[in-house]
Structure 1
Amino acid sequence: MEKEHDFIPERAKWKRQLFRVIFKADTKSGKTFDMLLLLLILISTFIIMMESVAIFDAKLHRTFVILEIIITVIFSVEYVLRILTVRNKRAYLFSFFGIIDFLAILPFYLSLFIPITKYFLILRMLRMLRVFRVFNLLDFMNDGYYIVTALKNSSRKIYIFLLFLMIFSVIVGSMMFMVEGHREGFESIPQSVYWAVVTVTTVGYGDVSPGTPFGKFLSVLLMLAGYSIIAVPTGIVTAEMRAKRQELGKVCDRCGNGDIDDNARFCKICGEKII
């Protein structure tokens, strides 16, 4: 969550108090402030979704616009107050939540010139991540750290896997192009490659399907291979997550088991007490 960017000097007591309300959730006023922000985010998201429904937009367009303006003004004032009350302004502006706070208001002002960009206001949903801080659920963020770290450590293996998958899809798609003989959906190699990607990922839109016996046989092989292929990146990331957890987490001194929950008091394998 947000780091504590050093309090403002004594001469600006109101800024320190406002800083605690805006950036912290350890006081009643701070929690109330955050809960109101979360509520406004939900209302804003609901408005954006309803605006995309023609029947609602036709009846309530003016109301939606007024509510969007009010909410955006509140978020704009809040963003300015965050900048004013934080000492290390650069650290906040370029932090994860600083960028998200900025993106929460930018689309509205862009929509004054490019109307379609107003739908980017849905990015305000990212501000809901503050719910972890409000309800003291920061431990869940540690689990998110394991996932991000595992993905980062697995990136090289995943890139190689994706390259193999691309090559495999191009080859199979080209084969299907020759087998189907320019039938509907297989008029070109790119269209056939599209079919191969949809099939091997087991998405199966059904908009393109082979008609020849050999084409159907090739499809069966590709669909069966798809189940095996999907398991590869899952296994890679899972192995990295397990390794990272063993590296940073607890390890049983007796049997060496590293798969130990954070709140565990005894090893699940040998029953040894965990220090």
Structure 2
Amino acid sequence: MKRKDRKLGTTKNSLRGRVCFWFDDLETPMGKSVDITVIILIFAALFLYALQTYNFEKNTLEMLQTAELVIGVIFLVEYLLRLWSSENRIRYFTSIYSVIDLIAVLPVFITFGNLQFLRIFRVFRVFRLLRFLERKEFFFGTVTETSLIGLRIVFTVASIVYLSSAFIYLVEKDGNPGITNFTDAVYYSTVTLSTVGFGDITPKTQSGRLITIGMITAGLIFVPLQIGRLFHEMIVSSGKNRIVCKKCGLTYHEKDAIHCRHCGETIYQETDGE
């Protein structure tokens, strides 16, 4: 099974072909291991960024920064391997996933004083998970279209909360006693996005207010859009049989279908005889 942003441009017997295959594969142990490792490292990097907002001792903070740097190096190597093994490197370099990878990885290595503000873009690592949500096939098996849309809704909400919290913390930490760490920022973002709005924490800066507006706007646009797709899929699938095409994995088919409407493969359905 292959992803949309890459193609296997060389034979699997060559080193380049094997690397490309492992990045795209979801069936062999190596392909699954690559997926699992990348996902774990993404979550670890997001967690490490949040931990660095707390008042730990200097040695602890240095350890966290070192761990994040190591993960950043691994991500950079992964990016270079993906680029090297791609059939069309220019196309891959200009793809949305490549841009996300660069934006998420490069800020880790920025140490110059005038450019350190760019390190905040490390939080965009959360978008690296999009690559794994474009298909119904995962390392643990295949999910239905309804389940996939549900996962995308969870990802959308979590991404909005995480990104908003990171930016709110960045602009409010110095002048807002209510936001002193990432937990405070997540609390504020969650109650604001859910429209509960307790009012115990409010943004003190103009930037904080603009970020809040952006967060609410994103929630109002993207979440209902995904929920609408979920209800549409539930309605459509309710009138079909849950027959999985062995060739392409399409799950639901019309009750009188003989062939898969996606790939044309013959499917077999039990029918009631007279």
Q: Give the TM-score normalised by structure 1.
A: 0.51
Identity in percent: 21
User: SS of the residue aligned with 1:104?
Assistant: helix
User: Which residue of structure 1 aligns with residue 139 of structure 2?
Assistant: 134
- What code does the residue aligned with 2:140 have? F
Alignment gaps of 5+ in structure 1: 149-200, 208-229, 251-258, 265-272
Query: Residues 60, 93 of structure 1: CA spacing in aligned structure 2 closer, same or farther, 3 A cutoff?
Result: same
For 1:59 and 1:205, the matched residues in 2 are separated by 37
User: Which residue of structure 2 aligns with residue 60 of structure 1?
Assistant: 60
For 2:59 and 2:125, the matched residues in 1 are separated by 25
Alignment gaps of 5+ in structure 2: 154-193, 201-219, 244-253, 257-274
Residue 12 of structure 1 and its aligned partner are, at CA, apart by 7.6
| Partner deviation per Cα, 1:120-156 (whole Å, 9 max, x = no partner) | 32222232342763333464488539x99xxxxxxxx
Q: 8 Å contact 2:149–2:230 — kept in the other structure?
A: no
Query: Residues 262, 103 of structure 1: CA spacing in aligned structure 2 closer, same or farther, 3 A cutoff?
Result: farther
2:124 maps to 1:123: yes
Residue 46 of structure 1 and its aligned partner are, at CA, apart by 1.8
Query: Residues 25, 101 of structure 1: CA spacing in aligned structure 2 closer, same or farther, 3 A cutoff?
Result: farther
- What code does the residue aligned with 1:23 have? D
Residue 81 of structure 1 and its aligned partner are, at CA, apart by 0.6
User: Which residue of structure 2 aligns with residue 31 of structure 1?
Assistant: 32
User: Which residue of structure 1 aligns with residue 6 of structure 2?
Assistant: 5
For 1:5 and 1:22, the matched residues in 2 are separated by 9
Residue 106 of structure 1 and its aligned partner are, at CA, apart by 2.4
Q: 8 Å contact 1:50–1:57 — kept in the other structure?
A: no
- What code does the residue aligned with 1:72 have? G
For 2:242 and 2:17, the matched residues in 1 are separated by 36
Larger Rg: 1
For 2:111 and 2:69, the matched residues in 1 are separated by 12
For 1:5 and 1:88, the matched residues in 2 are separated by 8
Matches within 5 A, 1:167-186: none
- What code does the residue aligned with 1:51 have? Q
Superposition CA RMSD, Å:
4.2
| Partner deviation per Cα, 1:163-215 (whole Å, 9 max, x = no partner) | xxxxxxxxxxxxxxxxxxxxxxxxxxxxxxxxxxxxxx9655558xxxxxxxx
User: Which residue of structure 1 aligns with residue 255 of structure 2?
Assistant: 274
Higher helix share: 1
User: SS of the residue aligned with 1:48?
Assistant: helix
For 1:128 and 1:110, the matched residues in 2 are separated by 23
- What code does the residue aligned with 2:70 have? I
For 1:237 and 1:57, the matched residues in 2 are separated by 42
Q: 8 Å contact 2:6–2:92 — kept in the other structure?
A: yes
